[in-house]
Amino acid sequence: MVERMKLVHVQGTLPHLDEFLGACCLDGRFGLEPAADYMSASLGYAPLNEEDPYTPLVQRVQTLAKEVGQDLPEDAPQKTPADPDTREFLDSLTQRIDALRDEKASLLEQQKLCQEGIDQYSHFLSLKANVDDIGNCKHVKVRFGFLPKAGYNKLMSNYADDPYILFVPCSQTADGYWGVYFTPRSKAQETDGIFSMLFFEPLRVPGAAGSPEEIVEHFRENLEVVQQSIDSLDDRLRKVWQDNLEKVLAIYSGARYNAAVFSLRQYAAVKGAHFFCVGWVPASQIAEITELAKSIPSIRITVDDPDKSGRHTPPTKLRNAWFFRPFEFFVEMYGLPNYDETDVTAFVAVTFTVLFGIMFGDVGQGLVLTAFSLFMWKVKKNPLFHLMIPCGIASTLAGFVYGSVFGFEDVLNPLYLAIGLPGKPVSVMESITGILLCAVYIGVVLVLAAMGMNIYTQAKQGHTGDVLFGTNGVVGVITYVSGVDLISAFMGATVFMPVWLAAILLVLGLAALLFAGVLAPLVNGDPDWMPAEGWSGYLMQNFFELLESVLSYLSNTISFLRVGAFVIVHASMMMVVFTLAGTPANPVVVVLGNIVVIALEALLSAIQGIRLEFYEMFSRFYQGGGHKFRALDLNDAATVVPTDAS
């Protein structure tokens, strides 16, 4: 249901603004609006334009925690006494942490150099010569690097006999060779050009003394020492943080609280030493909010009902039972109901769950879907997984009707015999015509339910003409039922009334719908009920509108055939799985097939269910277009925090 709202006006002196905001506007019950929008500009009230001193403080503590590698608690912040030494304390703590981090950064650079040295010299372990001696050769130039296989083959083919080129492979990979080439310094430029054409990749190795094996060992020893120093610094950082944690958390909690209060100050309109605030409060909370506000000095509060003129539309806050609440996700996806519109959450919850269960009926797969959705909801808190839990239960119950457990059609036969049934209530592949016909009748019932919702909503809003003569009003229901009855009689199916009566009601209903544009305003007492374009223009236009309405009755009903079709598709896909599994059934194929069917069919059934809700039912009675009730709630991390009053 849509919760009733009250418009609350608050006046007071500016020194008590923060006290009012903290007491009344931080627990999700007071949705502030820009007060200037509710006042005459000539009165001289204007929004506050201030620099936020608290958010930078919050960010500073968060930065400190990130530098130390610690997490900050995100529980509800609390108001704390102001501490004049806060900035000095944070400055001192920052200096100590920065000094330790600078020292650590130097060690990390050393660690990086040691690791690079190990990685680079490890390619040349087979080279037994002293690297320092090789690099200091007076007449010979040396280059370390990587030569691709193609380049190595060309080197061996074209330059094997060149006395001025010597390449010594030290290690080999799938792509080529790590090695060293030697050349006289007088031939260095020419040799470098040759190796460049062979795509030799030179490697700049850090200077060191000894053989590559000795150098690598030396780097490893240094790396171990550096790592010990880094670990010691990390311990010192953690100790500094832990020693000051209590005060840091107090500063963090207080800064977050003050930042939240400050973010709401922008909604106030101020003139001199006085402020003015406006907001929406659920009617069920108004008594407590009023009492809290009146307990603050200089505060004056006025409570009004929503403006009937529609100048300021109340926000929409949905309040539903726990079973229906997850399906608010679908309602918000389509558009929240207007304040005076009917909340369709319960309608969606029941119809979507039933339709999904019918299309995805299997005991085993339904239980898997339920368990998976429950797990994902606990882990991710995604509302989509939350609403799939009852859908999985509905699928399980429908599976008992179809007698299917992971596609096995005979597993439940002993259960049916035990309760006195000759067999499964519905054998899908043997009842295709009946299933499709049943799907159409389900469509008829749901279309009528949508029309009933429209009649209720229009009556609630006082639109008597639309209640009686609308396409989805009383005349629309009579016309639709009469048409269904005539089609049923033509197809030899069950009829609801005599054919002659249905034919008369259909003709009268179509005539009433044709002239609904005149009859509805006439009933509403509109003095301009006569068609402005003249009767000929009116009849021409409304004839095509009537034709469109009749076609919508037909298309909306036929669209529910997809429910029966997906029942058959689900059973057919499991038949394919067992055909692929062979005889006896390969358990791996059966398991993989069930996984594929669960994923694919659950997705398709959900999509089709949403489509039927939005296009076949919502289009008949639901407008949407409401705006969500938004209020800052420090107890709820998921709350949307207002940041822009404009």
Q: Is 28 helix (H, G, I), strand (E, B) or coil?
A: coil
Confidence (pTM): 0.73
Residue 276 lies in a domain: no
Whole-angstrom distance, CA of residue 610 vs CA of residue 3: 25
Q: Highest mean pLDDT: which of 156-160, 495-499, 603-607? A: 603-607
Q: Does 332 lie in the same domain as 194?
A: no
Residue 645 lies in a domain: no
Residue 527 lies in a domain: yes
Torsional sign, CA 601, 606, 609, 610: negative
Q: Does 516 lie in the same domain as 387?
A: yes
How many whole angstroms from its chain centre is CA 594? 27
User: Which residue range is the domain that position 602 belongs to?
Assistant: 325-621
* % of the chain at pLDDT higher than 70: 96
Please say whether the beta carbons of 358 and 567 come within 8 A. yes
Q: What is the CATH number of the domain that holds 182?
A: 3.30.70.2750
Q: Which amino acid appears at position 412 of this protein?
A: L
Residue 540 lies in a domain: yes
* Number of domain units in the chain: 2
Please say whether the beta carbons of 520 and 465 come within 8 A. yes
Residue 250 lies in a domain: no
Q: Does 349 lie in the same domain as 202?
A: no
pLDDT in tens, 407-449: 898 889 889 888 888 888 988 888 898 899 899 999 999 999 9
For the ranges 146-150, 294-298, 539-543, the lowest mean pLDDT is seen at 539-543
Residue 268 lies in a domain: no
Residue 363 pLDDT greater than 90, yes or no: yes
Q: What is the pLDDT of residue 308?
A: 61
Q: How many CA atoms lie within 13 A of 81 on its CB side?
A: 3
pLDDT in tens, 559-573: 999 999 999 998 899
Q: What is the pLDDT of residue 340?
A: 81
For the ranges 29-33, 60-64, 88-92, 640-644, the lowest mean pLDDT is seen at 640-644
pLDDT confidence tier of residue 287, bands split at 50, 70 and 90: very high
Q: Is 60 helix (H, G, I), strand (E, B) or coil?
A: helix
**Mean pLDDT to the nearest integer, 290-296:** 91
Whole-angstrom distance, CA of residue 134 vs CA of residue 200: 19
Residue 381 lies in a domain: yes
Residue 156 lies in a domain: yes
Torsion of CA 263, 268, 269, 272, to 10 degrees: -80
Residue 641 pLDDT greater than 60, yes or no: no
In DSSP notation, 103-169 reads HHHHHHHHHHHHHHHHHHHGGGTT--S-HHHHHT-SSEEEEEEEEEHHHHHHHHHHSTT-TT-EEEE
